[in-house]
Amino acid sequence: MRQNRRSNSINLLASIAVFLLLGGAVANAQRPVADDGDLSKAQVEQKGSEVLPSATSAPAGLVAVRPWTSAASTGQHDEDSAALVRYNSFGASLGTGQTGAVHIRYNITAVEGVGSLCPATSSTIRTRFRNSDNAGSTARVTYEIRTSSIASGGNTVIYTFDSNGKGGGTAFKTTTDTPAIDFNFATNMYWIEATIFRSVATEFADLGTIQIWESAGSPCM
């Protein structure tokens, strides 16, 4: 009788151990994977390709963080350009048969890519455009990035894009510049003023897209 009781006790303990082991495995299998908000900075960095790399570690020419991006067709043209401008898909140009100059504005907003460095030592500006006259005498695409102090006003040009000398032709092309610009939306506002010009109706002059992001500097704390 005692031997049977001992045997039953051993079997009961073995069953409990198996139950605990299986229960832990099931609990771990059913536990939800933590999202990025539940991870430490080191754990986020270990996720590799699932997380965007930092702005200072990205290979040259690649977008490291989410840039400010605008299609030219999303701008606001001046009243005197209303009869001339043509928006086609992502681009902006002069309408068929039109000559003259179209003026368009774009508001630059404080997205992650233009506010991640404090300060930035340089920013990357990528422009897609078309200009069939490389000399710029009969067709030309230009724009300026301007800034104004929220406290004291002003209107300062901090960057100028000019299609002259960047290669003419009937196809769109992309150019990349890295000016020393630090965007500080806590104290300033920023916008773009673009001009699309042609004096010959058969020429091509189109603004396609603009991308801007801070690409070198000290990460904000």
Burial class (CB in 10 A: 0-12, 13-18, 19+), 182: middle
pLDDT-based confidence at residue 76 (cuts at 50, 70, 90): very high
Q: Per-residue pLDDT tens for 139-174?
A: 999 999 999 999 999 999 999 999 999 988 999 999
By the 8 A CB rule, do 54 and 219 touch? yes
pLDDT digit string, tens, across residues 77-104 = 999 999 999 999 899 999 999 999 999 9
172 contacts: CB under 8 Å, gap ≥ 6: 128, 129, 130, 206, 208
What local confidence, expressed as pLDDT, does residue 59 receive? 42
Q: What is the pLDDT of residue 115?
A: 87
Rounded CA Rg of the chain: 29
Above 90 in pLDDT, residue 37?
no
29 pLDDT tier (thresholds 50, 70, 90): very low
Rounded distance between C-alpha atoms, residue 198 and residue 163, angstroms = 12
For the entire predicted model, the pTM comes to 0.71
Give the mean model confidence (pLDDT) for residues 107-127.
94
Average pLDDT across the chain, whole number: 80
